[in-house]
Amino acid sequence: MSTTTDSETFTALRSSHYIDGIWTPSADESFIDVRSARTGTVMGRVPAGGVHEVDQAISAARAAQPEWEALPTPERKAFLRAIARAIRDREEMIVHLVAEEIGCIGGTARAMQIGMAAHTFDDAADNLDAALAPTRLGNSEIIVQPVGVVAAITPWNFPLYQAALKVAPALAVGCTIVLKPSEVAGLTAYVLADIVDEIGLPPGVFNLVSGYGPAVGEYLAGHRDVDAVTFTGSDRAGARVAEVAGAAITPVTLELGGKSAHVLLDAHDLEAAVHYSVASAFGNNGQVCAALSRLIVPRSALAEVERLVTAEAATYIPADPLDPTTKLGPLVSRQQHDRLVSIVSRSIAEGTRVLMGGVGQVGDLPNDLSGGYYFAPTVFTDVDPASTIGQEEAFGPVLAILPYDGDEDAALAVVDSTPYGLNAAVWAEDTDRAAQFAKKIHASTVYINAGKFNPSAPFGGTKRSGFGRERGIYGLHEFVQTKAIQS
């Protein structure tokens, strides 16, 4: 397929799965409409695959795997770097596509859907030799080999970056892959299929099957010819993936939900702390599993934090994600919008105090955007840790402020009061104090005083946020197995 730069043309081309290096229509020629988050109108469609297409894709991946594993590592690296270059070459098309498909604003799209997605393929190439290096242990040679065929099931909130986090490390170590993207945002994943087709990746090494979760995702995860499953999504869906994969004794990597905390241990530089917190909570329109959606503050600082949060959050005005000045775009779908309305409404009914926003507070939008899934930035304050908004992942532009009374132990109790353990942040004047506190938090990643994001550091969950790690060399380790050869 030729390179496509226009997003409208791109969406019109999505009529087939990508299986064994060939664009393959569904056996029953059925389709799934994809709606624009901006306007609510149908912007394209993707094929609704099923058992037949999954079987085809797994068979192709199984047949291609030995030769792909045997390919010299410099050649595998060259393919990975070619994918990275091709993603960057498609920057403007991807920015427009994800604005329509998921409501992603331009800055987020350029950073995550292009920059980070491309980096992931380059990073996998950089770490490949170290990940596969043999070692000696006494009389044993310890070698590392690819697990084989990988099933990757990805979410809609970062459709290209999340695909890269799974596809790049799997391909790097010599696995072949079957990718099932979310049907809610099924178009963007086709960028990757176009690229691997264009650069001449060997047939069967990368396969894409589009379709609904129960029809494609569950069958793929439970298939006995799949050697590993990697999934990102909700904890409810992750539990189901683990269940069906477990029946086949297939190892699973799960990156699931979060209710991440940003805890202020003192009133140090509150303006910067609030700016950091709001930016995280409302990033990607609040649709981030690692969003710092709980701001945990000393009660003595609550009034000042409320003032600063109100001023900062007011700058996030729901608007067209294609406008370069927009900071807050729409939610991805009507279903997601209605789910957020339910959570916010239940929280209000419980008596949790609304500092700003709430249901039905979006304001005026142009007529052409009136059908989009926009939601006003919403802040709750004086939140009970056991309340709905203190416990449930909202997955929208909602921030909860939770005051605590007492010392660090009281703050830690609030931080760890949810069933999730994905991401966290600590703010304190004394960075050593913050570092010690960070070690106590049940989360896989903790930032100190707006610590810099490291795209090669391991990322994953604890508790109901899942298990396994993505990014850097740790992401490659998820797709290999070790073998001891005794002499």
How far apart, in whole angstroms, are the C-alpha atoms of residue 65 and residue 89? 28
Catalytic annotation, pick one of 183, 289, 306, 312: 289
Q: Which residue has the tokens 């699931």?
A: 256
Catalytic annotation, pick one of 255, 312, 392, 478: 255
Nearest Cα to Cα of residue 154 among 125, 191, 128: 191
At position 283, the amino acid (one-letter code) is: G
Residue 175 designated active-site: no
354: which strand partners? 380
Residue 289 designated active-site: yes
Largest distance between two CA atoms of the chain? 74
State how far the alpha carbon of 176 is from the alpha carbons of 171, 187, 352, in Å: 6, 22, 49
How far apart, in whole angstroms, are the C-alpha atoms of residue 132 and residue 453? 26
The three state secondary structure string of the chain is CCCCCCHHHHHHCCCCEEECCEEECCCCCCEEEEECCCCCCEEEEEECCCHHHHHHHHHHHHHHHHHHHHCCHHHHHHHHHHHHHHHHHCHHHHHHHHHHHHCCCHHHHHHHHHHHHHHHHHHHHHHHHHHHCCEEECCEEEEEEECCEEEEECCCCCHHHHHHHHHHHHHHHCCEEEEECCHHHCCCHHHHHHHHHHHCCCCCCEEECCCCHHHHHHHHHCCCCCCEEEEECCHHHHHHHHHHHHHCCCCEEEECCCCCEEEECCCCCHHHHHHHHHHHHHHHHHCCCCCCCEEEEEHHHHHHHHHHHHHHHCCCCECCCCCCCCCECCCCCHHHHHHHHHHHHHHHHCCCEEEECCCCCCCCCCHHHCCCCCCCCEEEECCCCCCHHHHCCCCCCEEEEEEECCCHHHHHHHHCCCCEECEEEEECCCHHHHHHHHHHCCCCEEEECCCCCCCCCCEECEECCEECEECHHHHHHCCEEEEEEEC
Is residue 112 within 8 Å of residue 165, measured between CB atoms? no
Phi, psi of 465 (to 5 degrees): -85, 0
How far apart, in whole angstroms, are the C-alpha atoms of residue 393 and residue 157? 14
Burial zone of 405 (CB within 10 Å; 0-12 exposed, 13-18 middle, 19+ buried): exposed
Q: Give the residue numbers marked as catalytic.
A: 255, 289
